[in-house]
Amino acid sequence: MEVDPAFIQDIEHRPKPTIVEAEDIPVIDLSATNSSDLRAIAALVAQIGSACKDWGFFQVINHGVRLDVLRNMETAARKFFAQSKEEKKKVGRDEVNPLGYYDTEHTKNVRDWKENFDFSVNEPVLVPASHEPDDKEVIELLNRLPESPPEFRGACKEYAQEVEKLSKKLLQLICLSLGLPWNRLNGYFEDQMSFVRFNHYPPCPVPHLALGVGRHKDISALTILAQDDVGGLEVKRKTDGEWIRVKPTPDAYIINVGDILQVWSNEKYESVEHRVVANPAKDRLSIAFFFNPPHYTTVEPLEELINEQNPSKYNPYNWGKFFASKRRSNFKKLDVENIQVAHFRVSE
């Protein structure tokens, strides 16, 4: 990515990112899930509950995802991003279909320094045709997978299957941590809108003026992130609002609570802001899996977690319409209101 002088002028007002050298987010060993030791499983559930409540983020090791599948996916992704811009744009996304390749150079007022590629776990995936509440039309989205490298398609399919299994395992453990049956949320993902995103962050010659990704929260239920050893992910600590650098842990996955889980849990667990700091010398690759329910899902606090002392904190919203609104806003750059889950919070 080239440095446009207008880009530099546009973001000179941004303060330099600060890094706090402090405690890291929890690292949790999932090996107990392969055990019949009820005490070990109960301890694991308690760890996950504490991490979701205190941080909204945690890392997992011994997670069960085959490392050869992860390595194959990383290799294929790097080969794809190493191609020419013209070759990558052959599978570029557009306003209708958000799947495929995207480069932040598409927009003049961009603040992020990266390029990415998205593919859906289900194909076709059904999404609302528009964000308008009265529009009932649903469209089918197909993946835009490149011909080169030739191993890319197979690696995507195999990787999605592996990380989906991890997502379901984690969701079951989270249900237990909320005092719910382990399978309470299983039915919400039969026709899932989950997708995988490869993020490539080229070296940035002006790291003090840009971020790899600006501060944001994820709209998913859960996000499962693999990152290389370069690092750069920072999490906003709930206790004091400081930005904490997440140290890369070999072969670990980073897990974070998304907006949907925040609403389901009636804010017992919160979606937390995070960002990626640009690196002046090294490129960085991360692979994110966004675990999303079907388009027809009504998202609202689970009835088991609501009572007179803890009333519902959110009005119901349709996940598909929410996604459609975010999609159009992101592509058009605020052509429509940049909707947030906070818009559905009940006024106190």
DSSP letter string over 269-287? Answer: S----EEEE--SS--EEEE
The per-residue pLDDT for 13 is 45
For residue 237, tell me if it sits in a domain: yes
pTM: 0.90
Facing residues of 28 across strands?
Answer: 60
The per-residue pLDDT for 83 is 97
For residue 64, tell me if it sits in a domain: yes
For residue 264, tell me if it sits in a domain: yes
For residue 2, tell me if it sits in a domain: no
Inter-CA distances, 257 with 34, 147, 164, 268, 272, Å:
23, 34, 16, 11, 7
For residue 256, tell me if it sits in a domain: yes
| Closest C-alpha to 100, from 139, 158, 142 | 142
Inter-CA distances, 243 with 201, 296, 309, 316, 320, Å:
20, 36, 33, 31, 31
- What is the domain count for the chain? 1
For residue 201, tell me if it sits in a domain: yes
257: phi then psi, degrees, rounded to nearest 5: -70, 130
For residue 286, tell me if it sits in a domain: yes
What CATH number corresponds to the domain at position 131? 2.60.120.330
Q: Could you read off the pLDDT tens digit of each residue along the chain, which spans 348 residues?
A: 554 544 444 444 444 444 444 468 999 999 999 988 999 999 999 999 999 999 999 999 999 999 999 999 999 999 999 999 999 999 999 888 899 999 876 444 446 789 999 999 999 999 988 888 888 898 999 999 999 999 999 999 999 999 999 999 999 999 999 999 999 999 999 899 999 999 999 998 877 767 778 889 999 999 999 999 998 999 999 999 999 999 999 999 999 999 999 999 999 999 999 999 888 899 999 999 999 999 999 999 999 999 999 999 999 999 999 998 887 655 554 445 578 999 999 986
The per-residue pLDDT for 23 is 60
Q: How far apart are CA 136 and CA 126, in angstroms?
A: 12
The per-residue pLDDT for 105 is 63
- Domain residues for the domain of 92 are 21-344
For residue 3, tell me if it sits in a domain: no
